[in-house]
Amino acid sequence: MTLPLLQIRDLHIRFQKDGAQLDAISDLSLDIERGSTTVVLGESGSGKSLTAKAVMGLLPPGAEVVSGSVRFDGRELVGLADRELRRLRGDAIAMIFQDALTALNPVTPIGNQIAEVHRIHERISKREAWSRAVASLDAVRIPDAARRAKDYPFQFSGGMRQRAMIAMAITRNPDLLIADEPTTALDVTVQAQILELLDDLRAERNLALLLITHDIGVAAQSADNAVVMYAGRLAERGTIGEILDEPAHPYTSGLLGSVPGPEHRGRDLPTIQGAPPSLDDLPGGCAFHPRCALATDVCRDRLPARTDFTTTHTTWCHHAEEALDGQPAAATV
Ligand code: SF4
């Protein structure tokens, strides 16, 4: 049996803040296969981006992995020396950030910025690095790539800048591409084009794609598998079909219920009542209980154990069967 390209096991990340220790990620386990797209869903503060940064070895100051494992292609990344991590970043694992305008250097031509990635990793001539940069811009379908490589970021539209960021990420042919909200700042048409491009690159290069988003529409369009996170823990995971068609966690149902559709025409859009908790004020038991219409005493007292519905579909909820049966889920307004 081949191992998943990325295997996260029981990951626990803690923040130090004002002398207190805050659990940002707890008991996170996740597998990502080569050539597949896994989407991580959840509101702001759920731990999606921090998970990605842990894989990249780019945790912010004050955060540390206190236990668990992140294995990439069979190699343990937790505790790996910075030098080794730097080598992996770009070469084997790459990341696209959500705001292409601030991620690109405004005073350097785009081609030079991509060429620089090669020269950091490899002793090659400027000419060779430049030609690889142009090839990468061509791969992300920038028209007339050789000429546009000389342009500065301000000369590119929002969608083109995001393509340039993708070109920079794939230019070293990584095996795993992490895209953190890659379409948030784009209009719907451009968003669809970027998702299509990412999917084409995944298929052409057998890339594993980890897509972080709060947008269910993005997930539905692109993913093979989905992971739903809440307050730094897994709420549910499954194939995208299982998550969209048979949600078995009230939080997932709440997220799905708040997607605008024709049935909401002329009516208020349902939303999940309340807001995600902050790390220094996590509710006891299931952290979702203050917002959940199915919450009972056991939810307030104890963390839910996992329930496996299929080999791929797992949820962490005391009342998973009722949630799956479509009982009123999140408290909505
Ligand atoms: Fe959490 Fe209980 Fe709601 Fe399940 S039913 S999501 S365990 S509060």
Give pLDDT tens digits for 215-236. 888 778 889 999 999 999 999 9
The confidence band for 333, taking pLDDT boundaries of 50, 70 and 90, is very low
Res 181: pLDDT: 85
pLDDT at residue 1, as a whole number = 67
Rank 184-188, 194-198, 218-222, 262-266 by mean pLDDT and report only the highest.
194-198
Question: What gap in Å lies between CA 167 and CA 172, rounded to an integer?
Answer: 9
Rounded to the nearest angstrom, the distance between the alpha carbon of 298 and the centre of ligand 1 is 9
Instruction: Determine if ligand 1 sits within 6 Å of the CB of residue 167.
Output: no
* Cross-strand partners of 94: 177
**Mean pLDDT of the region 310-320:** 96
Comparing 44 with 327, the larger pLDDT belongs to 44
What pLDDT is recorded for position 332?
45
Whole-number Å distance, alpha carbon 232 to ligand 1 midpoint, is 15
User: Does residue 292 have its Cβ closer than 6 Å to ligand 1?
Assistant: yes
Pocket test of ligand 1: the residue of 317, 322, 325, 332 to mutate, having most ligand atoms within 8 Å of its CB, is: 317
Distance between Cα 286 and ligand 1 center (Å): 6
Cβ-contact 91, 195 below 8 angstroms: no
pLDDT of residue 219: 79
Q: What distance in angstroms lies between residue 315's CA and the mean position of ligand 1's atoms?
A: 10
Supply the mean pLDDT for the chain. Answer: 90
pTM value?
A: 0.90
CA of 17 to the centre of ligand 1 (A): 28
Please work out whether the CB of residue 291 comes within 6 Å of at least one atom of ligand 1: no
Q: Across residues 10-39, what is the average pLDDT? A: 93
* Protein residue closest via CA to atom 4 of ligand 1: 317
Delimit the domains of the chain by residue range: 6-223, 229-324
- Say yes or no: CB of residue 288 within 6 Å of ligand 1: yes
Q: Is 216 in the pocket of ligand 1 (CB under 6 A)?
A: no
Cα four-point dihedral sign 257, 260, 262, 267: positive
Q: How many angstroms is it from 218 CA to the middle of ligand 1? A: 26
CATH superfamily of the 6-223 domain: P-loop containing nucleotide triphosphate hydrolases (3.40.50.300)
Q: Is 233 in the pocket of ligand 1 (CB under 6 A)?
A: no
Query: Sorting pLDDT into bands at 50, 70 and 90, what band is 327?
Result: low
Q: What is the mean pLDDT of residues 31-50?
A: 92
Residue 193: Cβ within 10 Å count: 16
Residue with the nearest Cα to atom 7 of ligand 1? 317
**Longest alpha-carbon distance in the chain:** 67
Q: Which of 234, 289, 291, 301 to mutate to test the pocket of ligand 1 (most atoms within 8 A of CB)?
A: 289
**Residue 188: what residue type?**
V
Q: Which of 173, 234, 223, 175 is nearest to 4 (CA)?
A: 175
| 145 or 103: which leads in pLDDT | 145
Q: What per-residue confidence (pLDDT) applies to 268? A: 73
Question: What's the pLDDT tens digit per position in 98-138?
Answer: 776 678 999 999 999 999 999 988 899 999 999 999 999 99
How many Å apart are CA 228 and CA 52, to the nearest integer?
14
Top pLDDT among 72 and 273 is at 72
> How close is the Cα of 242 to the center of ligand 1, in Å?
19
